Amino acid sequence: MFRKNRRTLLLGSLAMLLSRNDAFAQQAKYPSRPLRIMVPFPAGGAVDTIARVLSDKLSRQIGQPVIVENRPGAGSRLAAEAVAKSAADGYTILLSTAAPITIAPALVKDMRYNVAADLMPLTQVAEIVNVMVVNPEAGINSVKDFIEWGRKKKGSIRFGSSGAGSTDHLAGELFRKLSGLNLEHVAYKGGGPALIDLARGDIEVSFATYAVALPLIKSKRIKVIAVTTSERQALLPSVPTIGETVSGFGVSNWAGATLPKGTPEPIADRLFAEIRKATAESDLRTLLNAAGIDVNNSRSIAEFQTFVVEETKLWKRVVVDANIEME
């Protein structure tokens, strides 16, 4: 009996050793086949633009095709769920905004994936610049002007967003809380319709994506008074942040890469380094800047993971405070 058990243990140890050696061999050969970047939005949007520009660079660097797969649906959670259930081998990457990573946990009761348990945040890749915009006819030239105007205004101040639970919606709710103004949310099906109503005077303010707002800004039908990020943006260096007037305000409409949980550390490190190398290329930055997108990498994997944890807590507080209904 002792010899039989010993033989079983030896065979088990040998199998484990062979399995480890095979895993090490696979990591050493990585990547040996095409990679896939999952995008939770339709083709043509900001994240899709980032993914396609990035995939071209990565493909040349690693010597393998990098395929962009658009999988919209379920409020951007469909792609996140697919990545969460993918093999943790470095061949499937989620490129998304905060929506399925830090906002969904606060808004959705029964998620089909758990960010902490199923996904591994890798790095921020870019900043999809958001701006606070108003109607020029209001005579408002700064956040300070807006707050002073808002305190004198009778009734609520209507702010439009691209939809309930979107980054621009939650930015407005955070602004309401920190400024003390009586803001009323008006949800639209996309940022474009909200900005058209802002230009018409049907709403008073929006915290819109700069790229979407740009045509109306250029035609002077709406006016930029601030950026939503904690720091000023390289694309709009003369535009102040909201936080310069409203202490504690800072909202990033980031795009970042996430892997399935359990991806081997050497592979995660390789992907982190390859993404940093790709985004350092001047032609890539030029292409993204033209689309209203600024490259903004995390300094380390750990930094991005800490950021994701803290932002998840922030949006949870905002959702609870604003009494936004969960799905």
pLDDT at position 294 is 95
Any domain includes 18: no
pLDDT at position 295 is 96
pLDDT at position 19 is 46
User: Are 92 and 240 part of one and the same domain?
Assistant: no
What is the C-alpha to C-alpha distance for residues 95 and 73, in angstroms, rounded to an integer? 15
pLDDT at position 3 is 55
Q: Which of 81, 98, 142 is nearest to 319 (CA)?
A: 98
Angle at 47 between CA 44 and CA 49, to 5 degrees: 50
Q: Which of 181, 159, 158, 177 is nearest to 168 (CA)?
A: 159
Give the chain's residues under pLDDT 50. 2, 18-19, 21-22
What is the C-alpha to C-alpha distance for residues 63 and 83, in angstroms, rounded to an integer? 23
What is the C-alpha to C-alpha distance for residues 250 and 244, in angstroms, rounded to an integer? 10
pLDDT at position 75 is 87
Placement of tokens 């689309």 in the chain: 291
Domain that holds residue 221: 130-244
Note the pLDDT tens digit of each residue in 158-210: 999 999 899 999 999 999 999 999 999 999 999 999 999 999 999 999 999 99
Placement of tokens 């943790």 in the chain: 88
Strand order in the sheet with 35-39: 66-70, 35-39, 92-96, 254-260, 119-128, 293-295
pTM of the model: 0.87
Any domain includes 63: yes
Q: What is the phi-psi region of residue 193: left when phi exceeds 0, alpha when psi lies from -120 to 50, beta otherwise?
A: alpha
CATH number of the domain to which 212 belongs: 3.40.190.10
pLDDT at position 28 is 72
Structurally, how many domains does the chain consist of? 2
Which among 200, 221, 244 is the end of a domain? 244
Q: Name, in order, each residue with C-beta under 8 angstroms of 173's C-beta and a sequence gap of 6 or more.
A: 183, 185, 318, 319, 321, 322, 324
pLDDT at position 21 is 47
Any domain includes 302: yes
